[in-house]
Structure 1
Amino acid sequence: MRLVRVVLCLLTGTALVTGAPAQAAPDRRQASLDAAAAADIPGMTAVAPDWRGSAGRQVLDRPGKPDPSGQFRVGSVSKTFTATLVLQLVAEHKLGLDDVIQDRLPGLLPYPEPITVHQLLQHTAGVPRDLPLEYTWATNEELATERFVHFDGRRAVQLSTTQPLLFAPGTGWSYSNTGYNILGLLVEHMTGKPLARVLDERIARPLGLRDTLLPGDFPFVPRPAAHGYEQAYPAPHPLTDVTTYNYSRYLGAGQLISSGPDLNHFFDALLGGRLLPPALLDAMKTTVPGVDTPTGLDEGFDYGLGLMRVDLTPLCGKPTVVWGHGGDVPGFNTLSFKEQTGPLQVTTLATLDLTANAEQAGLRQVPMVNEFCAFTPRPNTAKTTERLFRLAL
């Protein structure tokens, strides 16, 4: 998936609700989904521990709302799963955070500069973000036409690293899918098993995540919450259904399929200390500012080891920090976050991603923020006001 910078917008005329009675919460939450659907986002779902909602269509040309319990492509939320697997191997003394990748995976990387496991986990290694454009999407039309291309994990890394380092390892920060593909190969090398099997054995089965899998070359979503869409061809062409896709190019970076309930359960277990020992969970939550070194762009979050920290205090009017990750692949935009302290948690899905306009990009963020800040949008708002945070997914 390409890096997509999404601007969280404060809607003009939007009301901040404080002290609202508990019984009003379902209406408030549903209103945020309805506002997104009114802005022509095909479908949205939101899953919190005490509530599930949806708006729009599951499939555009058929009646029926999205299924909040269904599966979808979670994009870069995959990175938190990959990071957890790596840190489990560290906990078992099979790997060290300061281990040099060139020593662990000899011959994979062309760079003479040593790159560590920790640097890859935190996006401070300087490795290129993605495949060169000649091997991936360069136009919106290619989102539709290049959907069944197989990439061997090692080959995807080798193609990506024909590009130079963005900066000397350890001297900057830049979000990298390539880095997490390398980590996926590292897990496979250290365990002697495919990444999909390792994830199933170490995370999915122990937590009972029945909707969570790495599909590899399998292009279908088995039980879709909703179909994903992009404006692959200029209007008046309709949106293109991009649900069926081969994401083998994103071994450890973004090929995971899951569901809202499964993602909530995973982040609750992870942040609750059930998947990692305390010292490594603390390391995972030790962050650096998400400021892109090559461009100077502040993405608006801090980044740990496969984990985003977002400070919602300016929106909420009270100290509010959430942990989790976001994800983008064609047709699917995911946000999954949990309070640092407290029970609030939510996973949202919007079924328009890379070709969303500015208003849609803002409105699809509101259901997530709304869970923590009682943020109520008005449907059909004509204008949006930029600011608060950007998510690099």
Structure 2
Amino acid sequence: MAAGVMGVPAAAAASRAGSTPTGADPVQRGLDALVRSDGVPAALASVKERGHRTRTYTAGVGDLATGSKVPWDGQVRIGSNTKAFTAVVVLQLVGEGKIGLDTSIETYLPDLVRGNGIDGNRITVRHLLQHTSGLPNYVPYLSDDVRPYTPRELLDIALQHDAVFAPGKDWQYSNTNYVLAGMLVEKVTRRPLAEGLDRRVIERIGLRHTYFPAHGDVRIREPHPKGYYQESPGSPLRDGTELDPSWAWAAGQMISTNSDLNRFYTALLSGDLLPAEQLRQMRTTVPAEYFGPGARYGLGIVSRPLSCGGRYWGHGGSTTGYETRGGVRGDLRAAADIAVTTQPSDKGVMERVDGLVDMALCR
């Protein structure tokens, strides 16, 4: 990682593709406030209303060292939004009869999932996709140095630790579930996960700025704002844009844009990616307050209540240098996605981002 010490600039903002004056637009004002008051280097948003063109917004600067502009609809690391993509591929294979949703992972990956209180015979594919497996999360046990990892290495790190609970008896977020889901896809298809994501999702619905980076690829291909991190709360922001994302793999490795994420979640909830039965299963949820009050988790997708009534569906992602939040209304009337270029230590910042998503979807 580059490690230049940075400061936070005054807000620089603009919006595009709409007739509302910049100063009067509440989304723009919200992004400006994130930069001005919360110290976010940059914020980007895309809002699409059914029957209307997309509005694209930016605030802040794309590079703290140079003060360069934030690129319109720039690429960012989308973190755990990747889980929704991985879940779609798994559920497509379920629809094709190649995977059983309530079949044990042992059936497909024999003698692999073993540990203290951990038995692959008792963990189903559904448990993995819904985070009800009880598998420990490997992320807290990764070494501080950012290095390449194989999926098997990530799984082995997790399996050194005790089961959190018996399968199906509780809910707890764990990236280990989606590493196993990715390994399942590769075992069943006999092809790399990235190839399945490309063919089955990205190319199918025309996501032009979304990809799964190759092993060892530390770059972001297209115009993008730089992403920043802090070594500890209150410490200077450091450039973390270029890194090997293999530590997240099927759980969080992908790169995309706000508008592509809106297109993805809209296509998914519209039934363009899954048969009706698999989409129904995906939308069968359990409580997941981890994502906020009233949130529920399906199979790789999160449902959250809207202040104007109803719910919206998406996921969100957190990774070095970037946070993304958004989704599509259950009635498909609007989609919104917002990204910021750091992981704020103050949880209130991301609560305000969630509030902006809600406002964009409700207005």
- SS of 2:203's equivalent? helix
Equivalent residue number for residue 371 of structure 1: 360
Does the Cα contact within 8 Å between 2:266 and 2:332 map onto a contact in 1? no
Q: 1:341/1:245 Cα in 2 relative to 1: closer, same or farther (>3 Å)?
A: same
Is 2:242 the partner of 1:244? yes
- SS of 2:138's equivalent? coil
Is 2:293 the partner of 1:303? no
Does the Cα contact within 8 Å between 1:285 and 1:307 map onto a contact in 2? yes
Flag structure 1 segments of 5+ consecutive residues without an equivalent: 1-21, 137-141, 375-393
Equivalent residue number for residue 229 of structure 1: 228
Shift of 1:213: 1.1
Number of residues paired by the alignment? Answer: 333
C-alpha separation between the residues in 1 aligned to 2:155 and 2:348? 35
User: Could you list the per-position Cα deviations for residues 244-288 of structure 1 after superposition, in whole angstroms to 9, with x for gaps in the alignment?
Assistant: 111112221000111112111111111000110111101100101
Is 2:122 the partner of 1:130? no
- SS of 2:288's equivalent? strand
Shift of 1:362: 3.1
Q: Which among 31, 34, 37 is matched to residue 36 of structure 1?
A: 34
237-246 or 360-369, larger mean C-alpha shift:
360-369
Q: 1:224/1:356 Cα in 2 relative to 1: closer, same or farther (>3 Å)?
A: farther
Is 2:55 the partner of 1:57? no
Q: 1:222/1:83 Cα in 2 relative to 1: closer, same or farther (>3 Å)?
A: same
Q: 1:41/1:332 Cα in 2 relative to 1: closer, same or farther (>3 Å)?
A: same
Shift of 1:238: 2.8
Shift of 1:24: 6.9
Q: 1:59/1:132 Cα in 2 relative to 1: closer, same or farther (>3 Å)?
A: closer
Does the Cα contact within 8 Å between 2:233 and 2:345 map onto a contact in 1? no
Q: Which among 275, 281, 284 is matched to residue 282 of structure 2?
A: 284
Q: 1:227/1:88 Cα in 2 relative to 1: closer, same or farther (>3 Å)?
A: same
C-alpha separation between the residues in 2 aligned to 1:195 and 1:58? 31
Equivalent residue number for residue 113 of structure 2: 109
- SS of 1:129's equivalent? coil
Equivalent residue number for residue 151 of structure 2: 153
Alignment of 1:2-81 (within 5 A): 23=20, 27-38=25-36, 39-49=38-48, 50-81=54-85
Is 2:327 the partner of 1:328? no
Calculate percent identity across the aligned residue pairs. Answer: 36
Shift of 1:367: 2.6
| CA RMSD, Structure 1 to Structure 2 (Å) | 2.0
Shift of 1:373: 3.5
- SS of 2:80's equivalent? helix
C-alpha separation between the residues in 1 aligned to 2:34 and 2:110? 48
C-alpha separation between the residues in 2 aligned to 1:218 and 1:40? 29
Is 2:128 the partner of 1:120? yes
149-158 or 63-72, larger mean C-alpha shift:
63-72
Is 2:143 the partner of 1:174? no
Flag structure 2 segments of 5+ consecutive residues without an equivalent: 1-18, 49-53
Equivalent residue number for residue 356 of structure 1: 345
Larger RCO (alpha carbons 8 Å, 6+ apart): 1
Moved over 6 A (4+): none
Does the Cα contact within 8 Å between 1:217 and 1:248 map onto a contact in 2? yes
Shift of 1:62: 1.7
Q: 1:193/1:248 Cα in 2 relative to 1: closer, same or farther (>3 Å)?
A: same
Does the Cα contact within 8 Å between 1:132 and 1:159 map onto a contact in 2? no
TM-score normalised by the chain length of structure 1: 0.80
- SS of 2:318's equivalent? strand
Shift of 1:291: 4.8
TM-score normalised by the chain length of structure 2: 0.87
Shift of 1:172: 0.6
Q: 1:361/1:206 Cα in 2 relative to 1: closer, same or farther (>3 Å)?
A: closer
Output the amino acid matched with 1:63.
G
Shift of 1:117: 0.1
C-alpha separation between the residues in 2 aligned to 1:64 and 1:131? 33
Shift of 1:366: 3.3
Equivalent residue number for residue 219 of structure 1: 218
Output the amino acid matched with 1:348.
I
